[in-house]
Amino acid sequence: MMKVLLLWLLCLPVFAQEAQVLRGRVLDADTHQPVSSAQVGIAGNKLGTSTNQEGRFVLRVPAAYASTELAVALLGYQPYARPLPPLPGPELRIELKTSPTSLGTVAVSSSVTAIIREAVARIPRNYPTRTTRLTGFFRESDDNVTNHAYDYLGEGILLVEKPPYQHPSAQGQVQILQERRVDLRDTSRHQPPLPRIEWYAGPLVPHRFDFVHQRAEFLRASQFKNYQYRLTPQTTFQGRPVYVIAFGPRPGTDRANFAGELYIDEQSYAFVGAAWHRTPRGIRREHLLSFEATERAYRVDYQLYAGRWHLKSIWYNTLGQPLAGQTRRHLAEFLTTAIDTARAAPIPYPERAQYDDIFRLAPTPYDSAFWQHYTTLLPPSQLRLDLLDQGRQQQAEQLLKVPPKTPLAAETMPRPARHRWHSQLRYYYGAGLLPVQMRAAALGAVVAPAGYSFRAAGAGEVHEQAAASSFGFGMQVDLPWQLAVYYAARSAYGQLKGQGWEAGLNWAPNLNPHGRPIRARLALAYLSQELGYDLGTFDNPDEGLRLDNTKLAASRLALSLQSVTHALQPKIGLGVELGRFWEAVADLGYSWPLRTYSQLLVEEKRGFFRSSAALDLPAAEGQLTVDQQPATAAPWQLGRLLPSVGIVYRLR
C-alpha cells in the first residue's frame, strides 16, 4: 500500500504539467445563434483555435499559459478578452456583440486601388520578415453532394515553415507530424481507385492559398486594368476599423479570374483576410481535364501576434462533377494552432511534404477520439455522426459479403499487385551524345537482286563528325537493395540517324540520406546501336520483291548504309531528386564492343506497317564503294564514351 501511495505522489507533478482542456461555445449576443470561424487565442494569440459551424471550440492549455488571457475576435464583432477560467471546467459560453455595419462616411483621400497598392507596399512592415513556424491542423474530405456520403477523410497535424513575406517567390516547407486517412468507400463494388478522387497538394494549402505572401492576382498592380474595385460599408476587427473592398472582373474584359472581398485594416493597411472565388472564366482557365468544377471558393484569415500578422486559417471548397459520376464536394481546411517566431533549423528534406503527396497511410476506421491530445478544428456534430454511421454500415456490409478471416490473415493481406508495380515502376526521358569515329568520304551503293527489275544505285558524301545527338525513352523496375532493371530505346539524329536500345541492371545508393537524395548510379548494360546514312529513295517495279527473306511490296523503297554495334556498357553517374516523383540524372557509359558490322538497309516508305530488309556486308545482292573503292564496312563506327542526361519519373 505504501508503494502505491508513493508512486501516486511521484506522478502528481507529471499530471500537474499536462495541458488542460478549455471547451467553449461562441454565440451572437443578439440572436444567440452560433458564431463560426471566430478566432480563439491565448497568450497574445501564440496558441489558439477557431470555432466550428456550431460555434464550438476545444483548446488545449499548457500549464505555463493557465494564467493568460483568452481573446476571441471576428470581423464585424466587438473583441472579447477575459482571463482564462479555472481548468478543467464546464463549457465556457461566450457572447459576442456585433459592431456597426458602417462607421459612417469613409474618408478616402485616394482611389480604392491606391489603398491596395499601399497595403501591398506595407507587407514587409505588417507581416514576418524572417522565417516563422506555424503548427496547424489540416482536414480534407470528399463527399457526394446528393446523398452526403463521404468517400474519404484526411486529417493531419502540420508543421508549416513560412518564408519571409517580403519575398513572394520564396518557397515554404511543410512537415506532416501526425496523420490519418479514413476511407469510407464501398470497395466491394469495384469502384474506381481512390487516387481518381483524391486531391494533391492538400498539406501545402498553407502556402498555396496564402494570398498575401503569394501576391494573388487581384493584388498585383499589373492586373488592376482587368478588375473593378469598390468600397463597401466598413466593418471592424478587434475594435479597429477595416476597409471592405469588393472586386470582380472589369466590364468589357474577361481576363480576371477571381471575384470577392478584401479586408484591410484602416490604420496599418494590413490585410486582415479575404473571401473570393473563381469566376466561370477563371474555372475554365484551370483546365481541370478530369473534373468539371462549378465552384472554387476560398477564405483566408490572419491574426495579430507580437506586432505582426500571421496566417490563421484557410477554407477551400470545390464543387463539381468528375467525367463520370455525380456532383462532388471537396473541402480543405487549415487552422493555425501555435506560432513560433524563434529561429529554428529548416525542416529536413526527407521529412518535407511535396506537391504530389497525398495521405498514404493505410486507411483506419473513424475514431472521434483520435485527436484528443491535440488542438484541432472541431468537426460539426452532424459530420461526426455521418462518418460514424457510414463506417458502421461499411463494416456491416463487409462482414456480410466477405468470408470471415482470421486476424492474422487480415493483418498480413498484401497490397494489390497493381499498387506494388506502380510504386516500383519508373520512366526515363533523356538526351545524350553518341561519339562517332567518322572520316569524310564519298559513298556509293548498288542493290540489284537477281531475278527482279528493282535496282537502287545511291550515292552521297559524308563529312567528318565527332558525335551524333540522341534522344531516348525507357523504363525501369525497382528491386530490393537499391537495384533496378531497366530498358531504354534511343534514336540518333543529324547526319547519321538510327535506332538503338540498351538493357541492364542499375544500382543507385543514396549518398545523402539525411537531406535531398543524391544517388550514385552504377550500371552494367547490353547495348545495340545503329548509325546510318541515307542514300536515296527509289521506285520498286516488283510487287513480289523479296530481300533477305523479307517481302517488300511498297512502290517506293529507301536505301541507306548503316553500321551496327553490339557492346557491353558499364556506366557511372549521379542522380539528384527534384521532387518526390522526379529525379535528374547524368550518366557516362563506356562502350566495350562485342561485334560491329555494316549493312545496306532497304526500307518501305509507304504504308502503315512498313517492312525492311538488312543486307549484311558483303552481300550478293548489293555492293558498297567508299571513295570509289570496293568496301565492306561504313567509314564510321560508334565511339567509346557515351554521355547522357535525363529525367526519371516515378509513378507512385
pLDDT digits (tens, 9 = 90+) for 557-610: 899 999 999 999 999 999 999 887 889 999 999 999 999 999 999 898 776 678
Going by C-alpha positions, the residue among 37, 569, 111, 585 that lies closest to residue 312 is 37
- pLDDT tens-place string over residues 326-377: 788 889 999 999 999 998 889 988 888 877 666 655 567 777 778 888 999 9
Cα dihedral 604, 609, 615, 621 in deg (nearest 10): -50
Instruction: For residues 63-71, give the mean pLDDT.
Output: 93
Cα gap 481→222, rounded to integer Å? 53
Q: Write the CA distances from 448 to 152, 423, 452, integer angstroms.
A: 70, 54, 8
CATH, range 15-96: 2.60.40.1120
Cβ contacts of residue 599 below 8 Å, gap of 6+? 561, 562, 563, 564, 614, 615, 616, 617
Going by C-alpha positions, the residue among 239, 230, 291, 287 that lies closest to residue 262 is 230
Q: Residue 154's pLDDT is what?
A: 85
- pLDDT tens-place string over residues 387-400: 776 656 655 555 55
Cell numbers that stand for 47 in this block: 496558441
Cα gap 172→178, rounded to integer Å? 19
The strand pair at 92-96 and 20-28 is best described as: parallel
Q: Write the CA distances from 365 to 155, 174, 370, 389, 641, integer angstroms.
A: 13, 26, 10, 11, 57
- pTM score: 0.77
* Domain(s) of CATH 2.60.40.1120: residues in the chain: 15-96
Q: Residue 612's pLDDT is what?
A: 86
* Domain(s) of CATH 2.40.160.20: residues in the chain: 420-650
Q: Is 591 helix (H, G, I), strand (E, B) or coil?
A: coil
Q: Please say if the pLDDT value at position 123 is more than 80.
A: yes
Cα gap 618→621, rounded to integer Å? 9
Provide the CATH topology of domain 420-650.
Porin (2.40.160)
Residue 12's pLDDT band (boundaries 50, 70, 90)? very low
